[in-house]
Chains A and B, each alone.
Chain A
Amino acid sequence: MTDARADIFANIRRSLGVTGNEATRRMEVADRVARAPRGVIPQRGQVADEARVALFRAQAEAVQATTVAVDSVADVPAAVANYLRDHNLPATIRMGGDLRLTAMPWGDTALELKHGPSDGNDLNAVSHSLCAIAETGTLVMTAGPDNPTTLNFLPDNHIVIVNARDLVGDMEEAWSKVRIAYGKGEMPRVVNFITGPSRSADIGQTMLLGAHGPRSLHVIVVKG
């Protein structure tokens, strides 16, 4: 039996009428991969500072996330505790090893903290996003020990911290942040773009929240 890979490449090249050795074609491909040109960037996200924060929050809320802004990282634990209390949720949270999270003054609250990935028995999780996209109200999460991927999906309530200075206008700008953090062509195992809480319209064509992922998504924007 012949090799499937070789057959498929041969078929593609026969259909396209190419050999695969054309220098110009190889150059075009290498150039596009190296430059990664941006295409059409919608105007909507191209706003700065306060306007960008406002756009991000409005877009996230339009897809049923809730948001709150705090002045500094020191205010985050209290904001988390308030959110849980206001929603009658138990005062327990799970988080990863992200230093930006662990350095916060959690001791000032009565919250019970657990660390590491979720085994499915956690109600509430707190994660720190790499950045967030104003155009669509989207959080950008990267996998790793800092923010385990299971925290994005298993707990019922997901609370995500975003620094206002990490807000970007569009997805292309988010990729720049990923490349700065990991290097061009290098990727964390997973990049999760999250836009609102989990939902499904598969029963009776009606959109219902809380399908398999979190039933609620709360975003805390840190301004300082």
Chain B
Amino acid sequence: MTAHATSPQFKANATRALADPNLQAALLKMRTGFIDRRAAAVDRLPEFDALRDSARDIKNHTLAHLDLYLEEYERNVRAAGGQVHFARDAEEARRIVLDLCRRYDAKTAAKGKSMISEEIGLNQAMEAAGVAPVETDLGEYIIQLRNEPPSHIIAPAVHINPEQVEADFRRVHTHLDPARDLHEPTQLLTEARQVLRRKYFEADIGITGANFLIAETGSSVIVTNEGNGDLSQTLPKAHIVLASIEKLVPTLEDASQILRVLARSATGQEMSVYTTVSTGPRRQSDPDGPGAYHVVLLDNGRSAMLGTQFQDMLRCIRCGACMNHCPVYHAVGGHAYGWVYPGPMGAVLTPSLIGVDKGGQLPNASTFCGRCESVCPMKIPLPKMMRHWREREFERHLTPAAVRYGLGLWSFFARRPALYRLATRAAMGTLSLAGRARGRFRWLPLAGGWTKYRDFPAPQGDTFQARWRKERGGRA
């Protein structure tokens, strides 16, 4: 079992999101911010597209040799004094982490941002086992206080406004003066910094994710702007890295290539503030750092994606550019997707990881405009893979009856061109006549879903095919 999914209720989730004024204001803001900053960063680097090709090739090569790079990586982690634990699924990963918590007698854990932690529902499991997880990424901390899942993979609290953060801080930080001034965002930041600073020192273990695992050296890499991941892994007595198997790259040079497209695609930065390459536990001469270093390597359905039409998805570096540029994400935000990964990458990954029966609605939440693929630093063909999922959903009879009936009707005509022309001509002629007076329809039978929100323009009287024939015939 993984984190609970409400993806099957995508439509209801989306309707609720569209009616949420706070969410809509936040989404309006992110719509321009992320896009403009990325575009500016890309413009400043003439080699950006060449680097995208390079990054794609590196990951393709790694995935094709994943078994061997994993062996190399594991060997080098051990050589540096670290330990590698393999987890087939979420349950196994949670058990490994809880065992490690017991081994280090952990009461609290400082956590850097990790989507794998969200994927395996780690916090709930830790709480149930009596270990307090403290999220230290500011956005993750805010949503932890609100008991919400992240709504974006790199900006987990993007849906929350400063007034909401202030209310949450007043509700939870009861040890502080109730009369304190918190109306400036900097005051909120300072308060979070002070509160969390204590937590790092109290934590018995530190848990982080990994942006990359490096086979050559057995290193894990995290990329942050706040420095929270570094404090989480430096101060406690043990560091646990949560990573999925596709995070591997062969060498330090390969990671450097992908780093150049990661931050630019994510936030429009040339480099995130902190890129940290960690190899094993504290050395004998080290004055600081964790005494133990563990890596939990999660499969959870990824090995089964290799060799399929979804293999390309394993190149994903979780930058968030696809959702930052997605008109559907802009409209409904991340929570509507109902599981850990939202936006176009989530629409492709979710059915792979939790099944098409639960996640099959998500690939339908796309206009196929193609912006996601055009900005993806790893050149993942996201629309093509969403189409594959739609086909599978249809084949497995998971599509609603009305849609199946409509598609069946359309395919009946589409396979009989003469009949198709006749029928569309008759329909367009009738609609044109009926709508001539107003030029549009406020209501149409069988199209209530459309006309409920907008008028349907009346056709001009001819079909596209008929006009095409006429105009081309005239010119030829």
- Residues of chain A whose beta carbon lies under 8 Å from any beta carbon of chain B: 4-5, 7-9, 11-13, 15-18, 20, 25-26, 28-29, 32-33, 36-44, 59, 63, 96, 116-117, 120, 135-136, 138, 143-145, 148-150, 152-154, 170-172, 175, 178, 185-206, 208, 210-214
Contact = CB atoms under 8 A, between A and B. Distances in A.
Question: Interface on chain B toward A: helix, strand, loop, or mixed SS?
Answer: mixed
B226 A33 contact: no
Contacts of B70: 9, 12
- The 5 nearest A-B residue pairs measured at CB: A213-B227, A211-B226, A202-B139, A15-B306, A11-B303
Contacts of A188: 279, 283
A154 B67 CA distance: 39
Residue of A40, A120, A192, A214 contacting most chain B CB atoms (<10 Å):
A40
Given A192-B274, A205-B155, A212-B197, 13 more contacts: A8-B299, A16-B67, A40-B47, A190-B234, A195-B271, A196-B273, A200-B189, A201-B267, A203-B142, A203-B185, A203-B189, A213-B227, A214-B227
Residue of A44, A193, A212 contacting most chain B CB atoms (<10 Å):
A212
Question: Interface on chain A toward B: helix, strand, loop, or mixed SS?
Answer: loop
A221 B310 CA distance: 49
Given A12-B303, A29-B72, A143 B286 contact: yes
Contacts of A15: 303-308
Given A32-B61, A40-B50, A149-B288, A213 B273 contact: yes
Contact of B276 (A29, A145, A148, A191): A191
A221 B77 CA distance: 35
A53 B277 CA distance: 25
Interface residues of B, number: 98
Nearest to A20: B67
9 contacts: A8-B245, A18-B67, A33-B215, A33-B250, A36-B252, A39-B256, A42-B47, A210-B189, A211-B189
Interface string B64-92: 11111110100010001000001110001
A138 B256 CA distance: 13
Given A189-B289, A202-B157, A204-B185, A17 B307 contact: yes
B380 interface: no
A129 to B, nearest CB: 14
B227 A198 contact: yes
Contacts of A145: 285-287
A4 B92 contact: yes
Contact of A16 (B50, B66, B76, B190): B66
A188 B137 CA distance: 25
B217 A172 contact: no
A171 B276 contact: no
A160 to B, nearest CB: 13
